[in-house]
Amino acid sequence: MTRSIHYILKKLAGAGFFFVVLSSFLLLSSEIDDGFEFVEEISVVFWWIILFSLATSMIDFIVQKFLMNYQSIKLALYVVSGVLYFLLNPMEIWTFYFILGLIGAMAGLTVYMGMYLAKKSTILKIFLSIVVPLVCFIFLNLNFTDKQGWVEERTETSYEASFDYFNGRHEVPIKAEKGESITSSFEFNNINEGGWSFHILNELGQKVGRAEINDDQTRFEAKRSGVYRFVIIGDDVEGRFRIEWAIE
């Protein structure tokens, strides 16, 4: 039992080391200038890395059982499996496979290095396997959205908001039954040329694909009953937006 716990902690230490490397890169990047953007980037890969790190136990078994426990082979398999893992999983934030491949290779390499470091120090193992993932999890549940002068109005088929400043995320939930068709339009009036984006998530947190009806409207079919969310993300923007929808 104790041996199994140490092995799991070693695996989680691999994930923890990845988070340390990724966080350092993001904090040094000129593209990340606030807590919201930092959390958004971490949230994309958090559970994928945890699962990937635990799944590498299959590689450990194969290398130890059939490949004489050669560490160079294990490292190569970690990198290759990292690339395949991220390419095959439906992560909708990144569009380009090349970027996913690089992230996968980085994941395989850093997970391996984190596990190697965890074997050398018990303190480092505890820090990487427990402290780092716990801190990341806490950060993911903090709200860094900043709204100033926010005025909103919602009806049964529309939502409108105006604001002096908006940096972060705002969600507008609607309920839909399986098989229903949801037609929606989104209009954004940007006053200060800040950034913004818009998408729709299903109840599993996955992006919903939409068919374009015309320049102003899109439509999608509810694949399952539940709450769907219109998601608006603002980046230091001033203005207003309006969403209208019809469920048939």
Q: Is residue 90 classed exposed, middle or buried when 0-12, 13-18 and 19+ CB atoms within 10 A define those classes? A: exposed
User: Over 80: is that where the pLDDT of 229 sits?
Assistant: yes
pLDDT range class, residue 173, cuts 50, 70, 90: very high
Which pLDDT does position 31 carry in this prediction? 67
Query: What does the DSSP 8-state code read for residue 128?
Result: I
Spatial CA neighbour of 203 closest among 184, 185, 183, 178 = 178
Residue 138 vs residue 71, higher pLDDT: 138
Most confident range, picked from 62-76, 103-117, 216-230: 216-230
User: Over 60: is that where the pLDDT of 6 sits?
Assistant: yes
Which pLDDT does position 42 carry in this prediction? 84
Q: What value does the mean pLDDT take over residues 31-50?
A: 80
Backbone angles phi, psi at 65, to 5 degrees: -85, -40
Lowest-confidence pick of 2-16, 64-78, 104-118, 132-146:
64-78
**Which residues, in sequence order, are CB contacts of 122 under 8 Å at separation 6+?**
none
**Which residues, in sequence order, are CB contacts of 244 under 8 Å at separation 6+?**
157, 158, 184, 185
Cα–Cα distance between 38 and 40 in angstroms, integer?
5
Q: Which structural domains are found in the chain, ordered by start?
A: 2-140 (no CATH), 146-247 (2.60.120.380)
Give residue 110's Cα distance to chain centre: 18
Which pLDDT does position 149 carry in this prediction? 95
The pLDDT tens digits for 186-215 are 999 999 888 898 999 988 788 888 888 887
Which pLDDT does position 157 carry in this prediction? 93
